[in-house]
Amino acid sequence: MNSTGSNIAADAFRRLHGAAPAGVWSAPGRVNLIGEHTDYNDGFVLPFAIPHRTWVAASPREDGVITLASVQDGQVEVAEPVRLAELEPGTAQGWVAYPAGVAWVLRQQGVGGGADLVVAGDVPRGAGLSSSHSLEVATALALLGLSGADPSKSDIAKWVQQAENDFVGAPTGLLDQTASLCCTDAHVLFLDVRSGRQEQVPFDAGAHGLEVLVIDTRVSHSLVESGYGERRRGCERAADVLGVASLRDAAGEEGLPDELRPLARHVITENERVLKTVELLKQERYAEIGPLLSASHASLRDDYRVSCVELDVAAEAAEKAGALGARMIGGGFGGSAIALVPRELRERVETGVAEAFAAQGFGSPRMFAAVPAAGAGRDV
């Protein structure tokens, strides 16, 4: 794990509280290789953790109060303290809502001690790389660690989901928090959301002369304010019309009203793409997953309708410059795309994307190669 980020959080804690923290916990952001909007439909996903993380330095308090501070560009921003007994949805705003929501849920699980928390991180915000879940998971591990509790990762993922759904107000599935908790170095996580079955699938793109290039469009998105919840409700209505528990069980979209058919079509075909990608990776046919990534983007753009012009330009420009496939990732309406790029073409792809953005009058995208990293845990 990145010791620099851990040191930044611990040093800021020392400056603020006059003593070293009891510990530092961290959790990564994630890239979802394929399997978008399938998690809340009981389907299949294939994420991997990235080296970018959120660190939480923490010590216990005895007064039922949680103090929160965040390190931003070397400066420590101190938020208003929150009293655990008074926490309810709507009582915390902005970034504070994420750790406060976790504390609110854990209080219901009998973990009710106060704490001093200092947060540092380098997961780009609003980029579709799950910065919010990285913060929530790191907070959960810190509060649980201070209390001495040791629940399963499955339980922690569900509690973080509850915080996101019921406190923050974003109706997310289980993909992001499970990825942050359970991903391992040099692997993608094949997760069957319904059963909870996990399989770590080796993923070494570099050994095959390839890189997964992340293209952060810098168009910030909010799952609370976007059409994410509307899409999720549409999937639930479609499953109800079809008489199935979820769209995971749907054989097709026949019988659905016109406005729901594309949603079901995306979920059904995306689950198929995940299964095919896993099969190809196990056979080390890495280059052949490129068309599946591109088909996923087309489905998210045309059927699920969660793309935006910046994401479309990123994917199209990357492929035009030599990427084997590209697609948007995350909830949509902004954020990032990924491209599967032959290593020798990376510079050309980056140049092609940057020039396409400039031609459209967009701001410069941020680009970096993502490699599978370790999941969440205690650093110090």
Q: Which of 42, 116, 176, 216 is catalytic?
A: 176
Annotation says 176 is catalytic: yes
Length of the chain: 380
Query: Using CA atoms, how far apart are residues 100 and 349, in angstroms rounded to an integer?
Result: 41
Query: Using CA atoms, how far apart are residues 45 and 175, in angstroms rounded to an integer?
Result: 7
Contact 82, 212 (CB under 8 A): no
Instruction: Spell out the residues 6+ positions from residue 25 whose beta carbon is closer than 8 angstroms to its own.
Output: 55, 56, 58, 138, 141, 142, 145, 376, 377, 378, 379
Q: Is 270 exposed, middle or buried (0-12, 13-18, 19+ CB in 10 A)?
A: buried
Phi and psi, residue 324, nearest 5°: -80, -15
Query: Using CA atoms, how far apart are residues 295 and 251, in angstroms rounded to an integer?
Result: 19
> Which residues are part of the catalytic machinery?
176
